[in-house]
Amino acid sequence: MKTQNKTILITGGGSGIGYSIAKAFSGKGNQLILVGRNEEKLKEATAQIADAAYIVADVASEKNVRQLVQQVTSIYGGLDILVNNAGVAKQQSLVDNDSLYNNAVYEININYLSVVRLTDLLLPLLKNSKEAAIVNIQSILSYAPNATLPTYSATKAALHSYSQALRLTLQKTNPQVKVFEVFPPLVDTPLTKDYTASKLSPDEVANDIIDGLENNTYAIRNGSTKNLYQLFLQSPEAALNLLNGIEA
């Protein structure tokens, strides 16, 4: 599909992968709408991108999301590309953890349920586009969990399943709306500042997304995810062990 002259909404667009995605789409006749909770970050991001505006909204809030959809409809009149990028991750143990349930609710609401709600509410605008896309930012952990990020891993697995089902549905009902998934490994963003492992550049992830959309590559696997995915196809158990540092 084409990536020029589109109206594009990016959640979590004020920093990290979302900001890099906005930069990658910029300068092509696109109108960018950056969404996030932190207005200062959004102001800084849009100041650096001439064709970007921002809307402050918490994607986990139904009220905020409905207001967001109303604003997009009234201001822009349509939408061509939705990038569901906003996400949170908490390292935690599944045993002896008094905060486990509350943390799980928090992650599930933002990483999965908010995507389902926002996508559902924006689908009428996307269906009206001659050529539209939904881009869901997944993770290498969509394929197998890391035990230190149990609920985050589960939300990404759920998002992967939902995205596949949505793609199959839209291919039958509204084939002009395409569903893309992006599976990065650890990326150098504020979310991963406490991790010491090797990290992929968010700009590399963003450039991969542009290439994937232009070539209709529905599963965009970045960096080490490519090898992990091949291992997963051969042996899900081996992929699980690798992601958890367990030697064969």
Cα 46 from chain centroid?
Answer: 19
Every domain of the chain and the residues it spans: 7-243
Buried b (16+ CB within 10 A) or exposed e, 121-142: bbbebbeebeebbbbbbbbbbb
pLDDT at 248: 67
Divide the 248 residues of the chain into consecutive groups of 10 and give the mean pLDDT of each group.
Answer: 98 96 96 97 96 97 98 98 96 95 97 98 98 98 97 98 98 98 91 75 97 98 97 98 91
d(CA 9, CA 83): 6
Residues 6 or more apart whose Cβ sits within 8 Å of residue 52: 13, 22, 26, 32, 33, 34, 45, 46
Alpha helices (H) along the chain: 16-25, 39-48, 62-76, 100-108, 114-127, 150-173, 202-214, 225-234, 236-243
| Domain 7-243 fold | Rossmann fold (3.40.50)
Q: Kindly report the CA angle at 212 between 160 and 144, in degrees rounded to 5?
A: 30
Inter-residue contact 94 to 149 (CB < 8 Å): no
Residues 6 or more apart whose Cβ sits within 8 Å of residue 2: 131, 214
Phi, psi of 79 (to 5 degrees): -150, 140
Q: Which two tokens stand for residue 103?
A: 């943390």
d(CA 184, CA 30): 24
pLDDT at 190: 73
